[in-house]
Structure 1
Amino acid sequence: MKETVLDVLMFLFENYHDTEVHDDDNQDTLRDELTAAGFPVDEVNHAFAWLGGLEEQRQAPAIGSRGSIRVYAPEEMAVLSTECRGFLFYLEQLGILTAESRELVIERLLSLESDIDLERVKWVCLLVLVSQPGEEESAWHLEDMVYAPGPFLH
């Protein structure tokens, strides 16, 4: 089975507390534990780079505003299916994603360098929200969607 960076990120989310993952002193230990668990070294390194990129993007100036319409670039549309874009729009309409968190999600999805389906979008949304201060309630609501089987529109 080919493990991907998202598999590593999902494993970290499900098995470690956020402070453990972002503690620089703990990252070497986590890397060793992940490789011992069978994850390829390259994917583990990519996962930590992905998390570092999330932190960098989080500190970037805010873009977009409430009620703005997101127009996807052709390159983004080639990677994000209509279903994926619809899910992001749905989360915005519910107030789970803000314009800023949506942009973080899109940027982090594009950095995965792998096929993107709805399940991956759900997980990346959850990982982004968990990393955002003050987004605990939104992350909690989204977590139900991530673990719920079936379509996202209930």
Structure 2
Amino acid sequence: MNERILILVGIIARHFLSGDDFSSTEEIVDELLEAGFDDDEIRQAFGWIEQISLQPSSDSPPPLRQDPLRLFAPEEMRCLSRAARGFLIRLRRQGLLPPEIEEEVILRACLERDGEVGLSEVRSITALALFTSQRSDSPVIAHIIGSDRKRAYH
């Protein structure tokens, strides 16, 4: 595409975005002709804008999923290691950990230990919490346990 046509597209877009009340495209065309652009360039710019605006988007972005924002309280931050908190956040963002189960995991982890709870303990607590709320052969549980299934069952 010609650089002058790109400039025209930018000018036309600014007119529409600025809220100028043009009663017709003829006023825009007249203004562009006065600015030194020729009729063919103006026609190409409007054609390009029309083509882009009427073209259906095949790569439409997926709908935004609004997760509730979960902030850790100072007591929870002292109780859970950084790796454990990151693990819970990652599971929630992937849609694998419902908010009510996450709260249960955090509560259990903070009540069970006096010191900091690490990643392996949070994994076990999460797997058990999900196990009680879902089927035992759930892929979510297998994902959390990972390759350490033998230890999880003993």
TM-score normalised by L of structure 2: 0.48
- Structure with higher Rg: it is 2
Q: What is the TM-score with the length of structure 1 in the denominator?
A: 0.48
